[in-house]
């Protein structure tokens, strides 16, 4: 029986976190849920605990990537076989997790990312500028990573032991998803993307505001450039 941990980064998600934890447990009660509270100023940590999650409380805000990585470090320290990551705002539907597990179970992947754009069946239609941004990042990562990817900004993913080891050691601290995808590919991880639908945010607001998007784009571009110049050690267990 594989041991699975759900890593849920959360920053001021008091309005959604309880339901997220309950939904994960409703999907599979055997899952351990770890909510990484990134120094929220509201009730997020207590509500998560009351809903039945293990709560890891960061002493100060370290950003989404640092929070997610904390969860992967937890998974590594507690010897989990599989870790999944879902956002604390409820946009990732635990009901879709089965799709993410299939490629892992068949040994086809170390890392499975829930993509909104594998085929046309998804309902997610972002505004033009964001759609372009997502597409450009996907093209770049495909080019630099040597494998076609369709959605590099998705935070909905599942990793096996090899993936946990990689991300516990190496995960960007802010705006991590795009760069992490490339790092995984360059480290030799097998990556599979599956079509998922994401829900609209229930509460709170997206961390990517218009003002920050320029920093976001430049930072990610630079990170991709540098990541493609770096050498990444092939991980044990990674093929290709």
Partner 1 sequence: MTPLRVSVAGAIASVLLILVVLELIRGRRLKERYALLWLATGAVLLVLSAWRDALNTIAGWFGVTSYPPAVLFAVATLFILLVLLHYSTVLSRLTDENVELAQRVALLEERVSGLGASERLKRVD
Angle, vertex CA 3, rays to CA 34 and CA 186, nearest 5? 80
Tokens in use for 210?
């218009």
Residue with smaller CB distance to partner 1, 41 or 123: 41
Nearer to partner 1, 37 or 151 (CB): 37
Which tokens is 184 given?
A: 């995984």
Cα-Cα-Cα-Cα dihedral sign, residues 193, 198, 203, 206: positive
Give the CA distances from residue 115 to residues 18, 50, 150, 198, in Å, rounded to whole numbers and listed in that order: 25, 31, 7, 9
Task: With H, G, I as helix, E, B as strand and everything else as coil, classify residue 33.
Answer: strand
Binding mask 73-112 for partner 1 (x = CB under 8 A): xx--x-----------------------------------
- C-beta closer to partner 1: residue 69 or 153: 69
Main-chain phi, psi angles of 60, to 5 degrees: -150, 165
Among 66, 88, 133, 176, binds partner 1 (CB under 8 A): 66
Cβ proximity to partner 1, 20 vs 62, nearer residue: 62
180 binds partner 1 (CB under 8 A): no
Which stretch, 14-22, 61-69, 132-140, 141-149, contacts partner 1 (CB under 8 A)?
61-69
Asked if 189 is part of the footprint of partner 1 (rule: CB under 8 A), the reply reads no
CB of 27 to partner 1, least distance (A): 23
Positions 2 through 41 that interact with partner 1 (CB under 8 A): 36
- The residue to which tokens 């990793």 are assigned: 159
39 or 118: whose CB is closer to partner 1? Answer: 39
Rounded to whole angstroms, what are the CA distances from 22 to 29, 80, 215?
A: 9, 20, 35
Choose the stretch contacting partner 1; rule: CB under 8 A; options: 1-9, 60-68, 79-87, 215-223. 60-68
């Amino acid at each position: 029986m594989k041991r699975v941990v759900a890593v849920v980064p959360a920053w001021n998600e008091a309005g959604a976190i309880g339901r997220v934890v309950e939904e994960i447990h409703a999907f599979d009660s055997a899952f351990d849920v770890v909510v990484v509270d990134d120094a929220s100023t509201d009730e997020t940590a207590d509500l998560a605990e009351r809903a039945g999650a293990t709560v890891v409380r960061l002493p100060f805000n370290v950003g989404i990537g640092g929070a997610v990585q904390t969860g992967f470090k937890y998974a590594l320290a507690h010897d989990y076989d599989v870790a999944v990551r879902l956002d604390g705002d409820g946009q990732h539907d635990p009901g879709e997790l089965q799709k993410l597990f299939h490629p892992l179970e068949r040994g086809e992947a170390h890392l499975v990312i829930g993509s909104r754009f594998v085929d046309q069946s998804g309902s997610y239609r972002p505004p033009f500028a964001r759609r372009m941004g997502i597409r450009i990042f996907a093209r770049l990562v495909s080019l630099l990573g040597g494998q076609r990817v369709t959605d590099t900004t998705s935070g909905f993913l599942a990793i096996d032991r090899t993936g946990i080891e990689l991300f516990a050691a190496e995960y960007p601290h802010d705006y991590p998803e795009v760069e992490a995808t490339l790092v995984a590919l360059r480290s030799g991880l097998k990556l599979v993307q599956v079509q998922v639908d994401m829900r609209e945010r229930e509460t709170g607001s997206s961390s990517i505001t218009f003002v920050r998007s320029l920093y976001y784009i430049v930072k990610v571009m630079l990170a991709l450039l540098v990541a493609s110049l770096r050498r990444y050690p092939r991980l044990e267990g990674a093929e290709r």
